[in-house]
């Protein structure tokens, strides 16, 4: 069986400089995979490249058995791969409901669109009580939940999240991660998670990759990496 996502020797960057250097990784169906690494290691660049926002200069990306390198970003969403960008990137002057509606641009039937919105409001009750509030006035945690719900509107098979913890208190981060766990269970969605909260990410992940300067330097199960002395020293402050 092919993995759900396969990144094969991908290099990518901005202008002349290369950020990702022949990077290979995969996500199996049903897995939660974390990518951890220091600031500037290339985590966001990796997710943007998979999502089709950057074109690889070398290598191939396969999703559900088909190549997606060079496919426009909106078509990639239609194939079942959704990205929650750093900070959520909601439309601040639109309501929670309108933001969710935009997430469903691949759903053409109005009845179906309404059904998925209702489903999201049930999954994230906090959004139901704030459905007409401007997204810009949500709290950090509410904003993350709205961004995750918006990404789920396209019924993705793989949800990619870039630092869902950004700007959240530890308590709020726990809430968002709990919500994410529930989503993974109930909706049969796989996750590729980029996180600076390395301990939380490794606890949640089935497997993880450690990246440094655009290269994968270590991989293993979440618990293997949690117990790895190098990882502990570099990322867990132990």
Ligand X SMILES: Nc1ncnc2c1ncn2[C@@H]1O[C@H](COP(=O)(O)OP(=O)(O)OP(=O)(O)O)[C@@H](O)[C@H]1O
Cβ nearer to ligand X, comparing 44 with 131: 44
Mask of contacts with Mg ion, 36-75, x by CB under 5 A?
Answer: -------xx-------------------------------
**Whose structure tokens read 């401007």?**
134
Examine residue 45 and tell whether it contacts ligand X (CB under 6 A).
Answer: yes
Q: With left for phi above 0 and alpha for psi between -120 and 50, is residue 230 left, alpha or beta?
A: alpha
For Mg ion, which residue has the nearest CB? Answer: 44
Of residues 116 and 225, the one with the C-beta less far from ligand X: 225
Q: Is 37 in the site for ligand X (CB under 6 A)?
A: yes
Could you tell me the two tokens for 211?
């990246």
Shortest Cβ distance from residue 166 to ligand X (Å)?
Answer: 9
Residue 105 is a binding residue for ligand X (CB under 6 A)? no
Site string for ligand X, 140-179 (x = CB under 6 A): ----------------------------------------
44 binds ligand X (CB under 6 A): yes
69, 145 Cβ separation under 8 angstroms: no
What ranges in 124-228 are assigned the alpha helix state H?
125-128, 140-152, 170-187, 198-204, 222-226
Q: What secondary structure, in 3-state letters, does 195-208 show?
A: CCCHHHHHHHCCEE
Q: Which stretch binds ligand X (CB under 6 A): 34-42, 115-123, 130-138, 197-205?
A: 34-42
DSSP one-letter code for 188: T
Helix (H, G, I), strand (E, B) or coil at 118: helix
The CA–CA distances, whole Å, from 146 to 1, 84, 222 equal 34, 10, 27
Residues that bind Mg ion in the complex, under the rule CB under 5 A: 43-44
């Amino acid at each position: 069986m092919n993995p759900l996502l396969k990144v094969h020797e991908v290099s990518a960057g901005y202008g002349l400089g290369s950020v990702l250097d022949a990077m290979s990784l995969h996500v199996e169906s049903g897995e939660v995979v974390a990518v951890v690494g220091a600031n500037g290691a290339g985590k966001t660049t990796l997710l943007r490249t998979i999502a089709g926002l950057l074109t690889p200069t070398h290598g191939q990306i396969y999703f559900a058995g088909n190549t997606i390198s060079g496919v426009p970003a909106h078509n990639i969403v239609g194939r079942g791969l959704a990205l929650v960008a750093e900070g959520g990137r909601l439309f601040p002057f639109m309501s929670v409901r309108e933001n969710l509606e935009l997430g469903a641009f691949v759903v053409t039937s109005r009845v179906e669109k309404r059904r998925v919105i209702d489903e999201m409001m049930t999954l994230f009750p906090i959004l139901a009580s704030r459905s007409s509030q401007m997204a810009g006035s949500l709290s950090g945690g509410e904003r993350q939940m709205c961004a995750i719900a918006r990404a789920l509107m396209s019924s993705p098979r793989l949800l990619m999240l870039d630092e869902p913890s950004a700007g959240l208190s530890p308590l709020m981060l726990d809430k968002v991660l709990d919500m994410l766990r529930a989503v993974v269970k109930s909706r049969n969605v796989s996750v590729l998670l980029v996180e600076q909260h390395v301990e939380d990410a490794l606890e949640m992940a089935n497997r993880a990759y450690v990246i440094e300067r655009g290269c994968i330097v270590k991989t293993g199960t979440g618990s293997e990496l949690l117990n790895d002395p190098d990882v502990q020293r570099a990322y867990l402050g132990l």
